[in-house]
A and B are shown apart, each in its own frame.
Chain A
Amino acid sequence: MKPEQCHHLIDYFNGTMTNEESAEFERHLQECSECREELAEIRTLTEDLPYLSDPAEPSPGLRNRILEAAYEESHPVEAPPELEAFKNKKSLNEPEIKKSKRSQTLIVGGLAAGLVLSLAANVIQMSDDKDGQLVQSEVLERKVALASVEGNETSSANASFLKEKDDQFMVLQADGLPEIKDGELYQVWLIQGEKPVPAGYFTPDEKGNGALVYKVTDEDLDWDTVAITVENEPNLSAPKGKVVLAGKI
């Protein structure tokens, strides 16, 4: 008898399963060479089928509409000089970023402090436990230490990347942050290459401590930096204010 999962290849190829089922099948694929081969075979064998299509003429305005829509969605980024200095890279020739609507902050520090703290506590527990006793279904993938860009040693932060089922979360905890003015906030960024994506914001308590949990929706992106800036408004598409803390992932 073949494993039950082997029967789901067609539905996997056609995307008729739920995300969870697909993820389960993908785990199966790692173990089942037969399914891997069949999937590759179906991909190859269907490769030419699109060419069966009868030529149809798109409407004349389509090209312009699409190009406009595409260019509209990207905005140039002006990264603050501090970030540049930190990253030690000069090539910002064609800075473009993605809109952040794909990303969403689950909980903003202060508003749901209870949950943030309990998650954060888990992180600490996990990372302090050398035996690697992980808390239930959350798996700590990696931990990034953020350091002050200006050499201020009293402030620091940690960003932990957790995997829970199919979701990835970043739990960020900052301590001893410099005071900010009324109306200012600390904005967190995940950065890949030249592209910063806003990963939530928080205002610290009177001791300069703050935390947030951010659901990472673009797990595939190869993030290289976590940074915290001071901003006047939340969720800008690119940092305007100065970078206070940053860490390489």
Chain B
Amino acid sequence: MVENNDAVLYERLAAKDKQAFETLYDRYEKLLFSFAFKITKDRGLAEEVMQDVFVKLWNGTHAFDSSKGKFSSWLLTITRNKAIDMIRKYAKHEHVELMDKDSLISDEKPVDKAVEWKEDREMIQSAVSKLNTEQQKVIDLFYFKGFSQQKISEKCGVPLGTVKGRIRLALKHLRETLEKGGRSDYEA
């Protein structure tokens, strides 16, 4: 339902309907900001990511093609790309690595209990916690840090040629655990 609705809103947005644009903004603001913040670990950078994503969405630089999948997945992908881009630039200029202390699952308790993706989050967190440390690490380096294959190989101490296999295996385990975890509507 919501997805269909997204696509309809997007169509209106593409026709320069400000109301549709703002509805989509409100719908995704918090998720995108939280996701950008998870990647960048920096409020300022996360806000820059948001601005870039939404301005390009409005002016059509980022154009969604509904035949290629869900709007939300597409929006999250462009957000991830921009956020990773930002940390690469930032790291280059500041000569620091932003994310040394973190792990895939944070110890902090989220402030907002009523947030929409709470259930998904708990389910995915629980599935991630069942992965072994190496698998958690490889997913984090690959997905949330966007490291190159070379860098993942160095950080994990595995040969370059086995990095892809590691990643796929870790992701598949995660998916299996999620599916076993009673989420029968998972594909929906």
Contact = CB atoms under 8 A, between A and B. Distances in A.
- Interface SS of A by simple majority: helix
Of the listed residues A51, A58, A71, the one surrounded by the most CB atoms of chain B closer than 10 A to its CB is: A51
A56 interface: yes
Interface residues of B, number: 71
Contacts of B130: none
A67 B25 contact: yes
Contacts of B6: none
Given A10-B152, A15-B81, A45 B171 contact: yes
A50 B37 contact: no
A42 B121 CA distance: 19
B67 to A, nearest CB: 14
Interface in B1-39: 15-18, 21-22, 25-26, 29-31, 33-35, 37-38
B45 interface: no
A25 to B, nearest CB: 12
A11 B148 CA distance: 5
Interface string A59-91: 100110111011101100000000000000000
A10 B30 contact: no
A27 interface: no
Of the listed residues B21, B59, B167, the one surrounded by the most CB atoms of chain A closer than 10 A to its CB is: B59
A94 B104 contact: no
A16 interface: yes
A96 interface: yes
A130 interface: no
A71 B18 CA distance: 9
Nearest to B172: A45
A220 B62 CA distance: 11
B158 to A, nearest CB: 12
B51 to A, nearest CB: 5
A187 B178 CA distance: 58
Given A52-B128, A58-B50, A98-B60, A63 B25 contact: yes
A62 B142 contact: no
A54 interface: yes
Of the listed residues A7, A8, A49, the one surrounded by the most CB atoms of chain B closer than 10 A to its CB is: A49
Contact of A69 (B21, B51, B79, B168): B51
B106 interface: yes
A55 B61 contact: no
A206 B25 CA distance: 54
Interface in A74-131: 74, 94, 96, 98-99, 102
9 contacts: A7-B149, A7-B160, A7-B161, A7-B164, A50-B79, A52-B104, A54-B34, A55-B115, A67-B54
Interface of B: 15-18, 21-22, 25-26, 29-31, 33-35, 37-38, 43, 46-47, 50-51, 54-55, 57-61, 63, 73, 76, 79-81, 84-85, 104-106, 108, 110-112, 115, 117-118, 120-121, 124-125, 128, 139, 142-144, 146-149, 152, 160-161, 163-164, 167-168, 171-172, 174-175, 178
The 5 closest A-B pairs by CB, nearest first: A45-B171, A70-B58, A16-B148, A51-B120, A55-B115
